[in-house]
């Protein structure tokens, strides 16, 4: 009799354990992780450090997803593939210092803006290029499919063979060092970061407000994505509660101009 009861108890216990196990597994699999894609060759926004994707965008994404209560996975897939992944809906969201503009808005949805940017020209020290106009007749490097490319096309003309397009910004700057291009046009924070981190490279960066307009970065989604609203709400909170300022200070060492984002 006793033995029988023990067996029944053990049986019940085992059943409960197995049942428990499978039910937690179920919640884990039904709670789908959001796939976020990036091109991690754009310091200080996203870049690889000891095998990890780090940067301002990465910290901001983390804060926003925590605020929204969303589980996610960040994948470094490259710039052109990132647009294809969002358009083909194989990814749910992209963060990559992506400028919000009318052209892209036809194909993608964007969050509210989170960073103000403009373009800068990188040249070797002592270069004769002192303004955007001086780029005429020169071989200029840009990252393919960026607003930097558009900015240069406005000055040199769209079909100009002197515009050299690179897969990412790091290789464009490498080509400047090697003398393949005479200038690189990229986002100001990225240009400044390169100069700061590479004092021996003898590269200088300058702005030309007459030719380069201000633009804003946003998180990018497939058109009609339900994520946009959740992310916008969380991003607003993160900006309002000071988390954004903390992250900004960590990466840029100065106070952000939050009002410029809210216009």
The site for ligand ARG (CB under 6 A) is made up of 39, 41-42, 46, 79, 96-99, 143, 146-147, 168-169, 187
**Beta carbon of residue 38, minimum distance to ligand ARG (angstroms, whole number):** 6
| Alpha-carbon gap, residue 132 to 173, rounded angstroms | 17
Query: Taking the CB of residue 263, how many other CB atoms lie within 10 A of it?
Result: 7
| Alpha-carbon gap, residue 4 to 244, rounded angstroms | 63
Six token digits for residue 175: 């080509």
Give the residue with the Cβ less far from ligand ARG, 237 or 261. Answer: 261
Query: Taking the CB of residue 16, how many other CB atoms lie within 10 A of it?
Result: 10
In eight-state DSSP terms, residue 125 is T
**Beta carbon of residue 57, minimum distance to ligand ARG (angstroms, whole number):** 8
**Beta carbon of residue 9, minimum distance to ligand ARG (angstroms, whole number):** 60
**Beta carbon of residue 10, minimum distance to ligand ARG (angstroms, whole number):** 57
**Beta carbon of residue 189, minimum distance to ligand ARG (angstroms, whole number):** 10
Give the residue with the Cβ less far from ligand ARG, 94 or 235. Answer: 94
Six token digits for residue 82: 């990132």
In eight-state DSSP terms, residue 69 is T
The residue assigned the tokens 């998180």 is 219
By DSSP bridging, strand 183-187 and strand 140-143 are parallel
Give the residue with the Cβ less far from ligand ARG, 92 or 187. Answer: 187
Give the residue with the Cβ less far from ligand ARG, 96 or 243. Answer: 96
Give the residue with the Cβ less far from ligand ARG, 55 or 222. Answer: 55
């Amino acid at each position: 009799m006793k033995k029988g009861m023990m067996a029944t108890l053990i049986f019940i216990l085992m059943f409960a354990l197995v049942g428990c196990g499978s039910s937690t597994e179920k919640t884990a699999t039904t709670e789908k992780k959001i796939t976020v894609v990036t091109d991690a060759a754009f310091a200080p926004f996203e870049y690889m450090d000891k095998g990890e994707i780090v940067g301002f965008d990465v910290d901001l994404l983390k804060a926003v997803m925590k605020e929204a209560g969303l589980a996610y996975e960040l994948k470094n897939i490259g710039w052109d593939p990132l647009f294809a992944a969002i358009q083909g809906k194989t990814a749910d969201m992209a963060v990559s210092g992506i400028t919000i503009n009318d052209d892209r808005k036809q194909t993608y949805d964007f969050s509210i803006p989170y960073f103000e940017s403009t373009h800068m020209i990188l040249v070797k020290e002592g270069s004769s290029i002192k303004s955007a106009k001086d780029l005429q007749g020169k071989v200029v490097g840009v990252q393919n499919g960026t607003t930097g490319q558009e900015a240069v096309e406005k000055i040199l003309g769209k079909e100009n063979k002197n515009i050299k397009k690179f897969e990412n910004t790091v290789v464009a700057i490498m080509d400047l060092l090697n003398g393949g291009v005479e200038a690189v046009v990229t986002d100001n924070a990225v240009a400044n970061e390169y100069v700061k981190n590479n004092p021996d490279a003898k590269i200088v960066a300058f702005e030309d407000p007459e030719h380069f307009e201000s633009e804003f970065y946003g998180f990018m989604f497939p058109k009609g994505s339900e994520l946009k609203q959740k992310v916008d709400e969380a991003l607003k909170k993160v900006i309002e509660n000071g988390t954004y300022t903390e992250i900004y200070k960590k990466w840029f060492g100065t106070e952000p101009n939050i009002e410029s984002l809210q216009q």
